[in-house]
Amino acid sequence: MAGLVLDGKAYSRELEAELQERVAKLKRKSGDADPPILATILVGSDPASATYVRMKGNACRRVGMESLAVELPEQTTTAELLAQIDALNANPRVRGILLQHPVPSQIDERACFDRIALDKDVDGVTSLGFGRMALGEPAYGSATPAGIMRLLRHYQIEIQGREAVVVGRSPILGKPMAMMLLGANATVTICHSRTRNLPEIVRRAEILIGAVGRPEFIRADWIRDGAVVVDAGYHPGGVGDIELGPVIERCSAYTPVPGGVGPMTIATLIAQTVEAAERATR
């Protein structure tokens, strides 16, 4: 029998309906017609990045928020980008700031991420935010792993005490994913493309997270029967980081590609912006 589908697309719609009500309540509470704003910064003209920013703006409007799109030219300097972030930090209506990754090579991306105020870091990209999250202190988690955790909780996937394997170590996905699973009392192994004996390690996973950024890098025959399979990748041709087809009949649950993790990333970003707005008005 096929595993349970962890349907991020369906759950994101449920979450958006809840967020609509929360945004409406914020507007009533403030007595102000101006809704909270998620500011997005796009440097350059990368088509994929532009599409992601547009999708996030559409999601804002669906829940009754506003999206402020800041578009900067390819030749923007680090100093110019920092000045834009400073202006958004100082804007009281902006409750969340998203700097779209990647930025052009001449920009110090880490310095710009870390310039975002902690209370507006709704994408969970700052060093301070990561450190606080890893220590179990209040912070907004990186949106994709935080979205995965929401999805697992929604479908009542048991995490505590289980062996989880995260394949991927990026600072905005693999590493925070491992810390979130550890915080939920899983036993966690972090792997990557250069890990020795990777198939044997993957085979131990009761919960497997594919976050390595290579199409179908994780092979179906590495995966144990009954595993929970979460694929955070998306590549041309509609495939993820995991060879998913042969696993569907053997796993206990899985995220489809597309329609699993992707919708949850955007929904979580919006949810964390709404939470930031609620905190600011308490």
Mean pLDDT of 240-250: 96
CA 135 to chain centre: 19
Q: What is the pLDDT of residues 20-74, one digit of tens each?
A: 999 999 888 876 667 889 999 999 988 888 888 999 999 999 999 999 999 999 9
In whole angstroms, what is the distance from residue 157 CA to residue 164 CA?
12
In whole angstroms, what is the distance from residue 14 CA to residue 16 CA?
5
In whole angstroms, what is the distance from residue 46 CA to residue 38 CA?
20
Q: Is the peptide bond before 102 cis (omega within 30 degrees of 0)?
A: yes
Q: Where are the beta strands (DSSP E) in 110-170?
A: 163-167
H-helix segments, 95-161: 109-115, 127-134, 143-154
pLDDT at 32 (0 to 100)? 62
pTM of the model: 0.94
CB 109 within 8 A of CB 100: no
Instruction: Count helices and strands (H / E) in the chain.
Output: 9, 9
The residues annotated as belonging to the active site are 56, 100, 123
Q: Which domains does the chain have, with CATH numbers?
A: 32-121 (3.40.50.10860), 143-262 (3.40.50.720)
Q: What is the pLDDT of residues 88-141, one digit of tens each?
A: 999 999 999 999 999 999 999 999 999 999 999 999 999 999 999 999 999 999
pLDDT at 33 (0 to 100)? 65
